[in-house]
Amino acid sequence: MQKWDKNRPVTAVIVGCGHRSMIYASYAKEHPDQLKIVGAADPSEKALRQAAEEYDIKSERLFASAQALAAVPPFADVVINGTMDQQHVQTSLPLLRAGYDMLLEKPFAVTADEARELLDCARQNGNRVMVCHVLRYAHFYQAIKKRLLAGEIGKIITIVSNEYVSYDHMVTSYVRGKWAKFENCHSSMLLAKCSHDIDILTWLLGTDHPRSVCSFGSRSLFRAENAPKEAGSRCTLDCPLVDRCPYSAKRIYLDRPGAWDGYVWKDFGCKRPDSMAVMLESLSTDNPYGRCVFRCDNDVVDRQSVLIEFQSGAIGSHNMIGGAAGGGRTIHITGTAGEIYGSFEQQKLHIKHIHPTPDSLFDEEVLDFSDEDLSGHGGGDARLMEDLIRFVRGEETSVSCTGLADSMPGHMTVFMADKSRLAGGAPQKIALGDAINTY
């Protein structure tokens, strides 16, 4: 491999100029010596214009699709692919065949067959593909991984995680929004929201891969039969509960300026209007975010539990609880020599080592990350981009770096967990085969 010129930044093309892609691309503004955005592809002319203005992209390097980009000779080192979940594979394949390396948003595929197809393509063409599992880069989870690698709590017996999805996030993204209906997004709730969490479980277990899984889940709360008798069809149009219902579009989106603007207005094709009258008119007519949460067409689950058996016999579990008062993640790992547990939101980890003395049964250490800048997934967004630069340059990456093969155990666990859920909780084997071999 040719040695990289450290004086030259990595060049990148944005594919899908949405929220996540633009966050990753913004690294170029803070570190122009490391990353330069030189192109963009998106079917939206408006999105392309905004990207072009933001990064001074030449008009001849703006494309209406990934296929159009792939049709011209490669002019960048890497693609930042932040398209919607169901578009990841169809946009990635032509770009990998064209020779691009890639940063690919999670979930990188929406079916097991798609996942294998993408991995095979990358192997055949020799591409480097890094998956955006940003939680791996939060110091909270990095610290857990390093302690486990050091063997501090012995052999893992159980690993339990929980994700509490706040009620405003739940109704915005998964009841009213673009991840609410499987037919539209092709992602289950577990895949769209908790592929981070299942990835964390399989990453922390390392080479102790998952071998079987079972799962239960349902859409229990946000259903028509649970609507209050007096509820209307739209919060700001015909609902007398508009100022009392906790899920009211007025209370969540209008009374809290700036809250969920990137969804309610950007997804609807505009910036947040300056006029309250315009916003009320939008939410009262055709804006999907103005609908009563009990009268939407959502079909993804609002709660789900997953139980995983690993090859060693260790047991892992994850619970997704939708509609909680406040969002958050917790984790608790028990080993033969101790425990590690903590709350991601509190940014504190407790590490207990079995150590019987006359006064105690264990020693305890507390790690506190609460003084850190926790924006962007606990600081993970920026550290992921730092690793991407090393990844593309062929340099040594961090313990958090996630190639396609590294991401397969978590993705396959999710696919099989959803299969189990649809089969009433029947256990499903997780067949990784050679998918976990590096390339």
In this structure, is residue 4 part of a structural domain?
A: no
- In one letter, which amino acid is 18? G
Q: What is the pLDDT of residue 373?
A: 63
CA distances from 252 to 172, 178, 235 (A): 9, 17, 11
Kindly state whether residues 35 and 161 are assigned to the same domain.
no
Structurally, the chain folds into a number of domains equal to 3
Kindly state whether residues 97 and 141 are assigned to the same domain.
no
Kindly list the averaged pLDDT for each block of 10 residues, start to end, along the chain of length 439. 73 93 94 96 93 95 97 97 93 97 94 94 95 93 96 97 97 94 89 93 96 96 95 96 97 91 74 87 94 96 97 97 95 98 94 93 93 65 93 92 94 96 97 66
Q: Which range marks the domain in which residue 78 is found?
A: 10-131
Q: What is the pLDDT of residue 432?
A: 85
Kindly state whether residues 95 and 14 are assigned to the same domain.
yes
Kindly state whether residues 244 and 307 are assigned to the same domain.
no
In this structure, is residue 1 part of a structural domain?
A: no
**CATH code of 412's domain:** 3.30.360.10
Kindly state whether residues 337 and 408 are assigned to the same domain.
yes
In this structure, is residue 36 part of a structural domain?
A: yes
- Among 238, 264, 295, residue at a domain's last position: 295
**CATH code of 39's domain:** 3.40.50.720
**pTM (2 decimals)?**
0.91
Q: What is the pLDDT of residue 350?
A: 97
Kindly state whether residues 287 and 408 are assigned to the same domain.
no
Q: What is the pLDDT of residue 436?
A: 63
Q: What is the pLDDT of residue 187?
A: 87
Q: What is the pLDDT of residue 439?
A: 42
Kindly state whether residues 18 and 41 are assigned to the same domain.
yes
Kindly state whether residues 279 and 346 are assigned to the same domain.
no
In this structure, is residue 86 part of a structural domain?
A: yes
Q: What is the pLDDT of residue 161?
A: 98
In this structure, is residue 380 part of a structural domain?
A: yes
Kindly state whether residues 40 and 115 are assigned to the same domain.
yes
- Among 131, 160, 182, residue at a domain's last position: 131
- Among 98, 131, 164, residue at a domain's last position: 131
In this structure, is residue 5 part of a structural domain?
A: no
Kindly state whether residues 247 and 273 are assigned to the same domain.
yes
Q: What is the pLDDT of residue 434?
A: 64
Kindly state whether residues 40 and 96 are assigned to the same domain.
yes
In this structure, is residue 14 part of a structural domain?
A: yes
Q: What is the pLDDT of residue 370?
A: 86
Q: What is the pLDDT of residue 401?
A: 93
Q: What is the pLDDT of residue 272?
A: 81
Kindly state whether residues 116 and 263 are assigned to the same domain.
no
